[in-house]
Amino acid sequence: MTATRAPRPIPLNIRAEDLLVAAAIIAALGDRPGRARLRKLADRLDRCARICWQQQHPEGEDADEQTY
């Protein structure tokens, strides 16, 4: 993953698990009234975590997360 808004791309070492933890913490903070921006940020981080997970496990290696 790279930060693309920088003058030169900066490689970042962020894993899907890191994004999920950040999303959970921000979602907990956004549970209070008047904090819709935090809830939106948590949703965006969750979506980014899913994309990151798919890139890290391209062959569908998510055997731990089975849907029934």
What is the predicted pLDDT for the residue at 62? 55
Check if the beta carbon of residue 38 is closer than 8 Å to that of residue 26: yes
Of 68, 34, 65, 38, nearest to 17 by C-alpha is: 65
Mean pLDDT of 15-39: 93
DSSP 8-state secondary structure symbol assigned to residue 31: T
The string of pLDDT tens digits covering residues 39-48 is: 999 999 999 9
Residue spans of the domains in the chain: they are: 13-56
The strand pairing partners of 2, in sequence order, are 11
Predicted pLDDT of residue 48: 92
> Cβ neighbours of residue 7 under 8 Å, at least 6 residues apart?
none
Share of the chain above pLDDT 90, in %: 49
